[in-house]
Chain A
Amino acid sequence: MVEGILAGAAAAFTPLNILLVFVGCFVGTFIGMLPGLGPISAIALMIPITYGFDPASGMILMAGVYYGAVFGGSTSSILINAPGVAGTVASSFDGYPLSQQGKAGKALAIAAYSSFSGGTIATVMLLVAAPALAKVSLSFQSSDYFALLVLGLTAVSAFAGKGEFLKAMMMTVLGLMLSTVGTDQSAGIQRFTFGRMDLIDGISFLLLAMASFALSEALMSVLKSGKEPAVKESDHELGSLRVTKKELVEIAPVVGRSSILGFLVGVLPGAGATIASFLAYGMERNLAPSKAKERFGKGSIRGLAAPETANNAACSGSFVPLLTLGIPGSGTTAVMLGALIAYGIQPGPRLFIDQPVVFWSVIISMYVGNVFLLVLNLPLIPYIAKLLELPRQILVPMILFFSLIGVYLVSFNTFDLIMMVFVAVVAVILRLLNYPMAPMLLGFILGGMIEDNLRRALAISDGSISFLWQRPITFSILLLTVILMALPLFRGALARFKST
């Protein structure tokens, strides 16, 4: 195995490959920053370019583009509250408040460090445990995924501050309801489409995220009076990358836990980066001491580090089923699988044995991409963060323009633009009434998957709900969910009991 790793490393570290990863990271970061273009489209765009290269070079370029696009996506979530892909939604929960407070540089730096650490720890786990984990990942059935997704929904608790619990729950339910629009996955019947062809495929995530986050944010800032820039002049630390030692100590355990969680969730073929980021966010909020807990959703560095780490770790984790079994668990790995097959590499259990050099060079290439991204992006952060120093009358139209164009360029459908404006206006009204948007998006993202897996589990068990307690994995995850939900109630009751 060591020989394989060394040979793989030798294949990865050639001057050409290093140049490619450099170019890839750069291009990827910019593609990722545009709403609507996430890692999947970035890689799909690169595939024709990479045909001429040998597999290691091609993979390195794609790895660079991939990590670049993931980081670029986080950038737009953090700076302008425009999560272009579902995996970065959780990063905006605390990342955007941080940049609102004039700490954009710090937020981006934390995102870069966490992503890097998540990628590193996950790659180490990939090196050590890939073949063993692959077998375990296949024991997950639909009912287990259902339980895992329900656990993911508990991340919503982070938005339920004092007196807002009901509002957060209502918005979650609204999100769940919106996810039912479109063709029903199991029966193929259309629901809530009002006979419109535009709604047959459901409401797109991108549309909802851009309209309810970015557009409504831009509209809200128009409603505020005054001409000052989006962030106050006095915040000269806007572009500063400085993260204090105390903060590093605070996020180190968060990064450690989220890496492991993210990797394990990523390994499951039916889960992925989005679920991993929500689970990590929820977990860290539950584990945080009560003072730090208050900060979640208002600019907590823990709340930013957790999803960023888990997101990247899950991406590395998703290579386990791809490389060892040949099963693509996510959209990105499905595109990667196509690219690998085009190179004549068939991922699967034989790859590790038949072509160890290719196997390791793919993994090491992915890691090289991760390292380069950190090196390349840290110096760029101050300039990217400067975006927020633009006067509002320039920044706001820019956000409006890019979010509308981003959605339009994906669907080429003018109906989407009308719907975006409608959603954005509704979102502004709801926000003025203090309803949080994040739980709605959370419910929307998880809702479709929850329904899909629940209905499949029911179909498999002949309509009986006995799988809830008969499958050990399902039962354990659901039990954990119940405990997490009940714990604060119990604590509260205990505190009251003590005080009386």
Chain B
Amino acid sequence: MKLINQTILHRALSFPSLLLVSLVLLIAVPIEAQDSIKKIHFLVPGGAGGGWDTTARGIGEVLTKTGLIAQASYENMSGGGSGKAIAHIIETARRQNNTLMVNSTPIVLRSLKRVFPQSFRDLTPIAAVIADYGALVVRKDSKYQDWNQVVRDFRANPRKIRIAGGSVRGGMDHLVAAIAFQAAGENPKKVRYIPYDAGGKAVAGLLSGETQVLATGVGEVLELAKAGQVRILVIAAEKRVAEAPTVPTLKELGYNAIFVNWRGFFAAPGISDQRADKFAAILKKMYSTPEWEAVRSRNGWVNLYKPRAEFVTFLEDQERQMSALMKKLGFLK
């Protein structure tokens, strides 16, 4: 845009045309400002202090500190398991040029369950930024030393193994457990899942002995495992994670199952491809900064950058896999 303006200036140095040029500039400047991203408005579909909120505010902090953007603003809009915020960004799309909505795996699960009528297809997927992997955890004094022992006992009598999790039936933690047993050739419907209303309470339930196994994300139990309270038996990741190098993956044990809880950003529907690419590019630049490293390690996040088309393919894969699993579990018809 700047280049074009300069050539116009060179060609039209005569006085009367200066007026016209300044008019052109007046129009051109706002267009330019609209095109490069100076500020981002983060829309958080949950309350202050939650996982989505810390992600948006952490990333906003890095982006402004490093000067990648000049200004970040935040808006919390909880309700309908993020359905409220999705409806809002779609309805007011024309005013949401600078908005990025943070979301995570539940957007896929909830749209499958028809909690809200929309799906990620109704938005502009920008990029996945961080990830947490499914983990299966036992008490430190549990008789289970490795995942194979749990599978063996499950085969003998699935009723005997009660699995705690911090989400509703059919929610993320339930699916972590279901996918792990399905990969072992068992019927995921036989998984005896006990739901708690928060991750911390599910841990307390595991430690109190009312459940034998806890299905959760690695990040949630990493510190408890370091403190020796619990033992992480296995993770549902592609490869081992740096924070817990001794914990094997399901794949290593011969069970082909992966569960990624990603967190990422979506823009309003209808924004231009260039603009969406620019958002993704800004997020990409963030990874190499020391400020990001500080925020990332402070929160124990794992980097997972999947921009634009790659993100969409990833979401479609996840949707297909989860829909099949949820059908088997009877949560979808």
Q: Which residues of A contact B (CB under 8 A)?
A: 40-41, 44-45, 47-48, 138-142, 183-188, 197-198, 200-201, 269-270, 321, 325-329, 334-335, 338, 341-342, 346, 348-350, 410-413, 452, 456, 459-460, 462
Contact = CB atoms under 8 A, between A and B. Distances in A.
A369 to B, nearest CB: 20
Contact of A188 (B113, B201, B300): B113
B83 A326 contact: no
A186 B198 contact: no
B195 A460 contact: no
B79 A269 contact: no
Contact of A200 (B79, B194, B201, B300): B79
B194 A138 contact: no
Contact of A201 (B79, B203, B205, B209): B79
B84 A349 contact: no
Contact of A328 (B200, B207, B229): B200
A187 B169 contact: yes
Given A140-B208, A183-B168, A269-B200, A44 B49 contact: yes
Interface in B72-106: 75-81, 83-84, 87
A327 B230 CA distance: 12
Given A141-B208, A349-B229, A334 B84 contact: no
Given A141-B208, A341-B298, A349-B228, A186 B80 contact: no
Nearest to B230: A326
A333 to B, nearest CB: 8
A138 B208 CA distance: 5
A186 B226 CA distance: 30
Given A187-B169, A188-B168, A456-B194, A411 B79 contact: yes
B298 A342 contact: yes
Contacts of B79: 197-198, 200-201, 411, 413
B210 interface: yes
B287 interface: no
Contacts of B226: 346, 348
A326 B162 contact: no
The list of the 3 closest CB pairs from A to B, nearest first, reads A348-B227, A188-B168, A197-B80
A40 B211 CA distance: 29
25 contacts: A40-B49, A138-B204, A138-B208, A183-B81, A185-B195, A187-B169, A187-B170, A188-B169, A197-B87, A200-B83, A201-B78, A269-B204, A321-B204, A326-B227, A329-B204, A335-B49, A338-B49, A346-B223, A346-B226, A348-B224, A410-B47, A413-B79, A413-B84, A456-B195, A456-B205
A346 B221 CA distance: 12
Given A338-B49, A350-B228, A185 B200 contact: no
Nearest to A413: B79
Contacts of A329: 200-201, 204
Contact of B210 (A184, A346, A452, A460): A460
Contacts of A141: 205, 208-210
Contacts of B299: 341-342
Given A456-B195, A462-B159, A349 B223 contact: no
Nearest to B222: A346
Nearest to A41: B48
Given A327-B200, A329-B201, A459-B194, 10 more contacts: A138-B204, A141-B209, A188-B170, A197-B79, A197-B87, A200-B80, A348-B227, A413-B79, A459-B192, A462-B159
A304 to B, nearest CB: 30
Nearest to A322: B200
Given A186-B195, A327-B203, A349-B228, A197 B83 contact: yes
A201 B80 contact: yes
B255 interface: no
A187 B227 contact: no
A284 B229 CA distance: 38
Nearest to A199: B80
Nearest to B209: A141
B115 interface: yes
Contact of A187 (B168, B192, B198, B298): B168
Interface string B136-163: 0000000000000000000000010010
A348 B49 contact: no
A452 B169 CA distance: 13
A438 B223 CA distance: 41
Interface string B222-244: 01101111000000000000000
Contacts of B87: 197
B227 A270 contact: no
A326 B223 contact: yes
A312 to B, nearest CB: 21
Interface residues of B, number: 51
A193 to B, nearest CB: 10
Given A186-B195, A198-B80, A350-B228, A334 B200 contact: yes
A497 B194 CA distance: 51
A274 to B, nearest CB: 14
B57 interface: yes
Contacts of B49: 40-41, 44, 47, 334-335, 338
Interface string B150-186: 0000000001001000001111000000000000000
A410 B208 CA distance: 35
A412 B48 CA distance: 13
B197 A185 contact: yes
B106 to A, nearest CB: 11
Contact of B77 (A45, A47, A412): A412
Contacts of B113: 188
A465 to B, nearest CB: 16
Contact of A327 (B76, B84, B115, B204): B204
Contacts of A188: 113, 168-171, 331
B17 interface: no
B116 interface: yes
B54 interface: yes
A411 B84 CA distance: 10
A334 B227 contact: no
B196 interface: yes
B164 to A, nearest CB: 9
A326 B222 CA distance: 11
Contacts of B223: 326, 341, 346, 348
A384 to B, nearest CB: 26
A197 B224 contact: no
Which of B57, B162, B195, B211 has the most chain A CB within a 10 Å cutoff? B195
A187 to B, nearest CB: 5
B78 A411 contact: yes
Contacts of B198: 334
Contacts of A459: 192, 194
A239 B176 CA distance: 58
A250 B168 CA distance: 47
Nearest to B207: A138
Contacts of B47: 410
A232 to B, nearest CB: 41
Interface in B12-50: 47-49
A334 B53 CA distance: 14
The CB with the most chain B CB atoms within 10 A, among A184, A186, A341, is that of A186
B292 to A, nearest CB: 15
A346 B227 contact: yes
Contact of B201 (A270, A325, A326, A341): A270
Given A48-B57, A327-B203, A197 B168 contact: no
